[in-house]
Amino acid sequence: MNLILMGPPGAGKGTQSQLLSERFKIPQVSTGDILRTNVREKTRIGQKARAYMDRGALVPDDLVVEMVSERLGDADCSRGFILDGFPRNARQAEELERTLLRGGKAIDAVIGIEVERRELVRRLAGRRVCRKCAAAYNIIFNPPVNMDTCNKCGGELYQRDDDREETIEARLRVYEEETLPVTEYYRGKGLYGGINGIGIIDRITESIIEAIEERRGNIKVAD
Active site residue 152: no
Among 26, 59, 82, 150, binds ligand AP5 (CB under 6 A): 59
**Which one, 109 or 124, has the nearer CB to ligand AP5?**
124
Residue 138 binds ligand AP5, judged by CB under 6 A: yes
Of 36, 127, 189, 215, the active-site residue reads: 127
Residue 53 binds ligand AP5, judged by CB under 6 A: yes
DSSP 176: I
The half-sphere exposure of 212 on its side-chain side, counting CA atoms within 13 A, is 18
Active site residue 91: no
If 0-12 CB within 10 Å is exposed, 13-18 middle and 19+ buried, where does residue 54 land?
A: middle
DSSP string, 4-23: EEE-STTSSHHHHHHHHHHH
Active site residue 36: no
Of 91, 105, 160, 164, the active-site residue reads: 160
Window of 49-57, 74-82, 150-158, 214-222 that interacts with ligand AP5 by CB under 6 A = 49-57
Active site residue 118: no
Residue 136 binds ligand AP5, judged by CB under 6 A: yes
In angstroms, the Cα distances linking 28 to 22, 60, 101, 116, 140 are 9, 21, 20, 24, 25
Which of 184, 86, 168 lies closest to 126 in space, CA to CA? 168
Quick check: 13 and 7 in contact, CB under 8 A? yes
Quick check: 122 and 105 in contact, CB under 8 A? no
Backbone angles phi, psi at 36, to 5 degrees: -65, -35
Of 36, 50, 71, 88, the active-site residue reads: 88
Write the binding mask 2 to 31 for Mg ion: x where contact by CB under 5 A, - elsewhere: ------------x-----------------
Binding site for ligand AP5 (CB under 6 A): 7, 9-15, 31-32, 35, 52-53, 56-59, 64, 85-86, 88, 92, 123-124, 126-127, 136-138, 141-142, 162, 171, 199, 201, 204
* Residues labelled as active-site residues: 13, 88, 127, 160, 171
